[in-house]
Structure 1
Amino acid sequence: MVNIRNLTDLEQQIKEDFTHLNIPKKSWMIPRNHLENEKNHIDVAIIGAGMSGLALSLALYTEGINAIVFDQCKEGEEGPWKNTARMETLRSPKQAIGPALSFPSLTFQAWFKAQFGQEHWELLDKIPRLQWHDYLQWFKKVTQPYILYEHNLIDLNVGEKGSTLYFKNLANGEIQTYMSSHTILAMGIDSFSSPNIPTFMNNVSNHRWEHAYHRSNYHKFKNLDIGVIGYSAGAMDSSATALECGAKSVEILCRCKDFPRVNRGKVAFNSGYLNSYPYWSDQQKWDFNYYLKQERTPAPHGSTLRVSHHKNAYFNFDEHVVSVKEYQNKIHIQTKKHHFIFDYLILATGFSLNWSKYSWLSYIRDHTKQWKDQYISNELPDNSLSQAPYLTTNFEFIAKSKQLDSDFSRLYCFNYSASLSQGPLVGMISGVEHGAPHLAKAISHKIYLDSFDQYINKVKHSEDFELEGNEWEVTLPYVTRQS
């Protein structure tokens, strides 16, 4: 055991841990060029190098599988932490394991203590957002996934032996093609979604409003009256950031009559819930998620206080927006009760599934099942739930046509859109430690079965001799030796 005084010591401990666990595993996969001739044929492609992609790459590595990870961003800019995210700290508890899976020395806690010590750890309440980004960069350095940056997925076609992936190399503009036996879509919360823009914004030019997810410099709000529609965590983060950047006032318009108090999803969170959820019945999954939507999720305690301690922050409840208009360089909002006038408007209205977002996503929509194709609740109808992808317990898409079943079983949804089928095993820091190993083992057994005959032939024709033939001498017959 290494005496850990700094990150160098911790990294040495990680090397020892991997050695003790026989990682990397003994090479068992048949080299790809023995099976296919294509230059760019790979076993596993992970689209997305954020937290989920890193966790999955590590989980596959522990199974003896080396994946190639693709991300459209430049190195060091993965995930939302340095751009669209505006929270001061993460919502998850500081003890969250996240992408570290079952490796104690890879956790945020180990990384933090190695630099700042036990005393500072005890004083820490939540994980600072930018510090989490730094941790993930370090995690990437020590786990060493193979990542191709500035590769934007522009199309895919699914076939019997996997998916043909088309990328635009953003560094040089070239179109590059890869054939992947197994492809995992792990691009984060906005993988299949777009910002939800209410219909009352249809005829309003975008000069004086934006969605909370928009990459924007909030210093432009200095000395301005800002309106925020919504009461989510994102609404609190945007409101607080605007106030901290010098906004003259922030009016928060909430259609609810009061804030929800209990985070029901957080209360449900435990190992039994995570391990069992994929095996719940369709009705159980639907009913529970419908219940969570109706109960609504409160903004975190700290995020709300971050807003309310500003005297120029105003919470307006039971305000249902009727119309939004731009007039004389101002935004005019008419609710059922009042008329508001702002210099600028921020929509903290969440995300909605957008199957038309990319051509490859439309292709998946047209050929695979959504929940509406498999289960419909007449008692608890919900359009957004009905459009979610309907997946197997191993995150696989399911083809609408039985003839394509085996093709789409090699394409996996490892992002927030899988939550109705899989629960919080993906897209949540506290859930990915369960989801990544689950999917890695599923892919491992499929890779073996895909080439079953070749693997068994290797066993039958092995010349890995246990005995060389010189370890003993042939004796004379027993009867002869008795005379």
Structure 2
Amino acid sequence: MSESNHSHDQHALDTLCLIGPDPENWVVARPGIDHNVLIVGGGQTGAAFAFALRRAGIGGVSVIDAAPDEARAGSWTNYARMNRLRTPKSLPGPEGGVPGLSFQAWHEARHGEASYADIERIGRRQWADYLAWYRAFLGIPVRYGTTLTLIEPQGAHFRLHLTVRTERGVELRVETARKIILGNGVSGNGRPNIVPPLASLPATHLAHTSDAIDFASLAGKTVAVIGGAASAFDAAAAALEAGARDVHLFVRRATLPAVPVSRARAYPGAYDNFPSLPDAVRWRQALRFRRAGSTAPADAIERVARHANFHLHLGAPWHEAFVDGGRVRARAADGAFEFDFVIAGTGYAVDLHARPELAGIADHVLLWRDRYTPPSGERDDALGAHPYLGDALEYIEKRPGEASFLKNIHVFNPAGFVSRGVPVGDVPCMKRDIPAVVRRISRDLFLEDLEAHEARMGGDVPADFDEAAYADRVYRQAG
């Protein structure tokens, strides 16, 4: 470890000392319960929640991740292909209000204050390195190779069916938990959105941007990318930089979305209070974003535009696609084409039934379409499929009294967009929403064992001193 890195780590330790030691676990142990809280997803969200729960004195917390190991976990070193993060470097992240744990402190210790001042946005690989340091420094264990396959309500807790990869092979286990946090990424409440006619293409000729794509194998080949948002441009750039002969990017809109409308509400008043807005206002804000389109950053567009073999097709949805003679033949609005490979940068669909672990509970979850009927001209089926979340990002039961267990599942992935106004799971939501979830979990765990806590609070407390400490100074009126 370099001297500057050691100095920073010592500074981070000193900062933690200033806020005091982690509280002892106060949660009452219950027979047969393996976890007070199970966090699904070991990325930036899972790590930040593990730290926040620890600071709240909540023990019995476990973090699982389906990736086989840390190197292959999370988006930043796998399917995220941007050079820089989309969010400003100044936004609070997983540090939870502890300055020594922030990206800025970490970066300046390694590269100097001038380097931090010079960057506009955080580099993707730098962010991945920072998160790896964060987990290691705070000692946050993640159980890799562990997939949640089914959530089974059992009264006051859940039976969790897990698939665990071990040296001996795959094992099936059942564990129990009182609370669940779904910090499982962009498709955590749904699936990759493979739109027609792409769905008919075989995996040998099609990949979604969420897949692990072997870009080196695309060298010398002609590649089509479908979609106009950031992930599509990032995939196109990765293919070009890997040596693709030609890359064609097809966008159904006549022009690229260039107005990031969400910035209009990027101030504390709107950000802090968005979850309290009337449903109609939240719906209109989500609809405005959908209709304006997801804006690719200017540097993502510049990254592909510098290549002469990049071709942008506007107003060009695909109408037909099939494999013939080893190549994909496509008919788009602007002509017929042939490609060696197709990449779908078509985003994600919120669909609780598409998630095996949610299969037993999906029908009970209140969705926006169940709660709110938009006026004529404002209907949007994709937004209507989002779960309608409570104040602590918890599921709400569709029919009151039938599924009270849903309040113990907290959704910290992009399915919370309509309810919270930001892409939940990304950096912008952390400052507001992690504390909201932790407060609710703390309250629930406390009140569910109130009798035990009342006994503890009313228990005997030994005296700090006895009468001998002041007996000689007790005033006595003279004779």
- Superposed displacement of residue 237, structure 1: 0.6
- Superposed displacement of residue 55, structure 1: 1.2
Alpha carbons 2:321, 2:328 under 8 Å: kept: yes
**SS class of match (2:353):** coil
Q: Following the alignment from structure 1 to structure 2, what is the Cα–Cα distance between the partners of residues 42 and 391?
A: 23
Equivalent residue, structure 2, for 1:185: 182
Is 1:146 the counterpart of 2:137 in the alignment?
A: no
- Superposed displacement of residue 469, structure 1: 4.0
Is 1:43 the counterpart of 2:41 in the alignment?
A: no
Alpha carbons 1:97, 1:429 under 8 Å: kept: yes
Equivalent residue, structure 1, for 2:55: 62
Amino acid of the structure 2 residue aligned with 1:251: H
Equivalent residue, structure 1, for 2:436: 438
- Superposed displacement of residue 423, structure 1: 2.4
Q: Deviations over 1:387-410 (max 9, x none)?
A: 111111111111223224542211
Instruction: Give 5+ residue unaligned stretches, structure 1.
Output: none
Q: Deviations over 1:351-397 (max 9, x none)?
A: 11232333321222112211121112142111111111111111111
After the TM superposition, which residues 218-237 of structure 1 pair with which residues of structure 2 at under 5 Å, given as runs? 218-237=215-234
**SS class of match (2:237):** helix
Q: Deviations over 1:397-436 (max 9, x none)?
A: 1122322454221111111111211222722212212211
Q: Following the alignment from structure 1 to structure 2, what is the Cα–Cα distance between the partners of residues 396 and 138?
A: 30
Call closer, same or farther: CA 1:464–1:301 in 2, change over 3 Å.
farther
Equivalent residue, structure 2, for 1:53: 46
Equivalent residue, structure 1, for 2:103: 108
Equivalent residue, structure 2, for 1:348: 345
After the TM superposition, which residues 211-360 of structure 1 pair with which residues of structure 2 at under 5 Å, given as runs? 211-360=208-357
Q: Following the alignment from structure 2 to structure 1, what is the Cα–Cα distance between the partners of residues 474 and 9?
A: 60
- Superposed displacement of residue 260, structure 1: 1.6
Q: TM-score, normalised by structure 1?
A: 0.93
Q: Following the alignment from structure 1 to structure 2, what is the Cα–Cα distance between the partners of residues 461 and 425?
A: 45
Amino acid of the structure 2 residue aligned with 1:12: Q
Equivalent residue, structure 1, for 2:193: 196
- Superposed displacement of residue 461, structure 1: 1.8
Call closer, same or farther: CA 1:345–1:30 in 2, change over 3 Å.
closer
Q: Following the alignment from structure 1 to structure 2, what is the Cα–Cα distance between the partners of residues 140 and 313?
A: 39
Instruction: Give 5+ residue unaligned stretches, structure 2.
Output: none
Equivalent residue, structure 1, for 2:420: 422
**SS class of match (2:80):** coil
Alpha carbons 1:162, 1:183 under 8 Å: kept: no
Structure 1 stretch displaced more, 45-54 or 120-129:
120-129
Q: Following the alignment from structure 2 to structure 1, what is the Cα–Cα distance between the partners of residues 158 and 240?
A: 47
Call closer, same or farther: CA 1:278–1:475 in 2, change over 3 Å.
same
Q: TM-score, normalised by structure 2?
A: 0.93
Q: Following the alignment from structure 2 to structure 1, what is the Cα–Cα distance between the partners of residues 370 and 92?
A: 36
Q: Following the alignment from structure 2 to structure 1, what is the Cα–Cα distance between the partners of residues 297 and 430?
A: 21
Equivalent residue, structure 2, for 1:72: 66
After the TM superposition, which residues 397-412 of structure 1 pair with which residues of structure 2 at under 5 Å, given as runs? 397-412=395-410
Alpha carbons 2:366, 2:397 under 8 Å: kept: yes
Alpha carbons 1:425, 1:432 under 8 Å: kept: no
- Superposed displacement of residue 296, structure 1: 0.7
Q: Following the alignment from structure 1 to structure 2, what is the Cα–Cα distance between the partners of residues 149 and 213?
A: 19
Q: Deviations over 1:317-353 (max 9, x none)?
A: 1112221122232222212331222222222111112
Is 1:81 the counterpart of 2:76 in the alignment?
A: yes
Q: Following the alignment from structure 2 to structure 1, what is the Cα–Cα distance between the partners of residues 247 and 25?
A: 60
% identity of equivalent residues: 23
Give 2:11's match in structure 1, choosing from 10, 13, 17. Answer: 13
Q: Following the alignment from structure 2 to structure 1, what is the Cα–Cα distance between the partners of residues 244 and 474?
A: 100
**SS class of match (1:163):** strand
Call closer, same or farther: CA 1:30–1:196 in 2, change over 3 Å.
closer
**SS class of match (1:401):** coil
Which of structure 1's runs of 4+ aligned residues deviate more than 4 A?
474-478
Equivalent residue, structure 2, for 1:450: 448
Call closer, same or farther: CA 1:226–1:467 in 2, change over 3 Å.
same
After the TM superposition, which residues 171-182 of structure 1 pair with which residues of structure 2 at under 5 Å, given as runs? 171=166, 172=168, 173-182=170-179
Call closer, same or farther: CA 1:473–1:99 in 2, change over 3 Å.
same
**SS class of match (2:128):** helix
Structure 1 stretch displaced more, 305-314 or 335-344:
335-344
**SS class of match (2:114):** helix
Q: Following the alignment from structure 1 to structure 2, what is the Cα–Cα distance between the partners of residues 446 and 205?
A: 47
